[in-house]
Structure 1
Amino acid sequence: MTDRVSIVEVGPRDGLQNEPYTIPTEVKVELIDRLSATGLPVIEATSFVSAPAIPQLADAEDVYSRIERRAGVRYPVLVPNLKGYERARAVGAEEIAVFTAASEAFNQKNINCSIAESMERFKPVVERARADGVRVRGYVSTVLGCPYQGEVPVSEVVRVAEALDQAGCAEISLGDTIGVGTPAKARAVIETVAKSIPVERLAVHFHDTYGQALANIHACIEAGIRTVDSSVAGLGGCPYARGATGNVATEDVVYMLQGLGLDCGVDLKALAQVGDWIAGELGRPRSRTGQAILKRN
């Protein structure tokens, strides 16, 4: 198993999509460009969903067209259906992500369809992407708990992950959408799913509602995970979890990885400066590691 961990920065998409006021396109573009200079290998740039569904990302085409794409950095985008895929491809997107959940109740509330129906929606997307040579990532939400049904059986997580695998997803990100997971449960899910899908093709996506995200990531790394989703300055927050504090902060993850002797190729000071800037732009708190790094320097 490699000692390198790849970070998927989701701040520009997952981190911004629920902000209460419209963020200028210029700020989004600058955020991505600043992140590109920190050594992050993957930055999820935006989502090509309908504007009424997520108004905050209505400028997806404009954002993606204006970012400065750096060699060695991938810029995937989220797409909900074939129309979204075609919009993304029209502006040059070379990698996409599709999404579903392990909870039927969550899927119905979130995208107004069953898990099976969501699979049918993105099946033609994955088929088209594979024909076009476009890499596809699959997201599975609510793998450690649902705000509507509570516990989510691990068997359901496995079933959905296997369906994404069979559909043709190159990588599958398992998400604790409401941040209720604990290390033992997180590791157990990874170890169970890894019996069907190679752990090298799995990623984790933790929210930090109960302050467990770093501990969960550590437990999953011990189980073989080498791809971790995170958001600069901890931007984001699930609208379905009261008091949710958002995604785990990328700065905190990088600091932990460095302490474990795991390479992620990210300049922590440069990242902290980006986190400080975007937190100031949005009126949001800084990450704990970001604050400490900048005070120390």
Structure 2
Amino acid sequence: MNPLPTPIVDVVEVGPRDGLQNESRTLAVDTRVELIHRLVAAGVRRMEAVSFVRPDRVPQMAGAEEVLAALPVREDVDLIGLVLNRRGAERAAETTCDELNMVVPVTDGFGTRNQGAPVERLLEEAAGAVRVARAAGKSASVTLAVAFGCPFQGVVEVAQVAEVVDRVADLGIDELAFADTVGVGVPTQVEALAALVRGDERVPRLRFHFHNTRNTGYANAWAATRLDLSSYAGRVSLDASVGGFGGCPFAPAATGNIATEDLLHLLRRTGADVAGADADDLEGLTGTASWLSDRLSSPVPALLGRAGDFPAVAS
């Protein structure tokens, strides 16, 4: 058997969005802007910077327009705005974000609690969001929430995900993401879900979003790099959050994302080609995680900052 080609992994930093939305302390706009500046200085080149949601539902994400207005436009940095419906997309279209990422849960139970609507209605909202993005000259991606398991339905069968995938793929998206929103996924599911879109020309790019709630997030990330990625020019995108902060306010017991610095250490040591972040010097990320920990009054879940990089980076 021939070995798989070296994967190219595009790391997507989600700390300014998913990393903050479930924290008890709400950070001011200027603090969130500084977080993004620190991440860019640490080498991050693609990130979810804001979420266009109702501030009464997710106060941690209030002021999305103000955050983006305070950031310089850089050709080498792509900023993503997460949206939950067409109205959020319309807000995002008026800003400098480069990409709109629409969330579509694959279960009615999660869709109703997270976005106030069942899957069928959210597919309609996604179609509208993609049209808004296109009219504004922005990229459009869709994340399928609870694709690995739902806190309200329980086990989610691949066939159920496949029905939503087929509808979303027809929207003319630039990227499709499978999200393990509550951290219940295992590597065999990574392969099974990827198989749904392998060779499907309607899905130009593939992305995964993992949480480490049950300590399987990094195993799932590794599994994603071992997929047959020939349909995607050998590339796969992986979400991660600086420090491992994160969680969903509408998903019980959902803890942090896989940590950007821990993921980059894994990718570098296993020989993957990394894009979207600097895997050679992680001090900027571990320092940013400590800085963020102080402002959130919350300990850093990631491990690299405690153990230190290996091999140690010469100062």
* TM-score normalised by the chain length of structure 2: 0.87
Q: Tell me the amino acid that sits aligned with residue 110 of structure 1.
A: N
In the alignment, does 2:297 pair up with 1:283? yes
2:17 counterpart of 1:3: no
- Alignment partner of 1:48 is 2:63: no
User: In structure 1, what is the equivalent of residue 224 of structure 2?
Assistant: 220
Please state how far the C-alpha of 1:94 moved relative to its aligned partner.
Answer: 2.5
Q: Is 1:93 paired with 2:97? A: yes
Q: Secondary structure at the match of 1:12?
A: coil
Could you say what secondary structure the match of 1:15 adopts?
Answer: coil
Match of 1:188 in 2: 192
- In 2, distance between residues paired with 1:146 and 1:26? 35
> Aligned to 2:154, what secondary structure does the other structure show?
coil
Instruction: Tell me which residue corresponds to 1:293.
Output: 308
**Is the partner of 2:104 in helix, strand or coil?**
strand
Contact 2:23 2:60 in 1 (8 A): yes
Matched, 1:20 2:24: yes
Contact 1:162 1:196 in 2 (8 A): no
1:211 is paired with a residue of what secondary structure?
coil
Alpha-carbon distance between aligned partners in 2 of 1:165 and 1:153, rounded to the nearest angstrom: 19
| Superposition deviation, residue 33 in structure 1 | 0.7
What's 2:232 paired with? none
**1:90/1:233 CA distance change after superposition, 3 Å:** same
Give the distance between the partners of 1:198 and 1:126, measured in 2 at CA: 14
Contact 1:41-1:73 within 8 A present in 2 as well: yes
Task: Map 1:212-251 to 2 at 5 A.
Answer: 212-223=216-227, 224=229, 226-251=236-261
Give the unaligned 5+ runs of structure 1.
none
> Which amino acid in 1 is paired with 2:306?
Q
Listed as ranges, the matches of 1:62-211 within 5 Å are 62-194=66-198, 196=200, 201-211=205-215
Contact map agreement 2:174 2:204 (CA 8 A) in 1: no
Q: d(CA) in 2 for partners of 1:117 and 1:31?
A: 35
Structure 1 residue 253: deviation in Å?
0.6
Structure 1 residue ranges, 4+ long, deviating more than 3 angstroms after superposition? 68-71, 195-200, 239-244, 294-297
Higher relative contact order (CA 8 A, sep 6+): 2
User: Would the aligned equivalents of 1:157 and 1:193 in 2 still touch at CA under 8 Å?
Assistant: no
Question: Following TM superposition, by how much is the alpha carbon of 1:147 offset from its aligned partner in structure 2, in angstroms?
Answer: 0.6
Stretch moving more, 277-286 or 250-259:
277-286
Q: Offset at 1:129?
A: 1.6
8 A contact 1:233–1:285 mirrored in 2: no
Root mean square deviation of aligned Cα:
2.1
Give the secondary structure class of the aligned counterpart of 2:153: coil
User: Separation in 2 of the partners of 1:2 and 1:74?
Assistant: 24
Work out whether residues 106 and 161 of structure 2, in 8 Å CA contact, stay in contact via their aligned partners in 1: yes
Q: CA deviation at 1:39?
A: 1.9
DSSP-derived class of the 1:133 partner: coil
CA deviation map 1:94-114 (0-9, x unaligned) = 311111111122112221211
Q: Give the counterpart letter for 1:260 in structure 2.
A: T
- Between Structure 1 and Structure 2, how many residues are aligned? 297
3-state SS in 2 of match to 1:178 = coil
Counting aligned pairs with the same residue, the percent is 37
Contact 1:272–1:293 at 8 Å: present in 2 too?
no
Give 2:305's aligned amino acid: G
Unaligned runs of 5+ in 2: 230-234
More helix by proportion, 1 or 2?
1
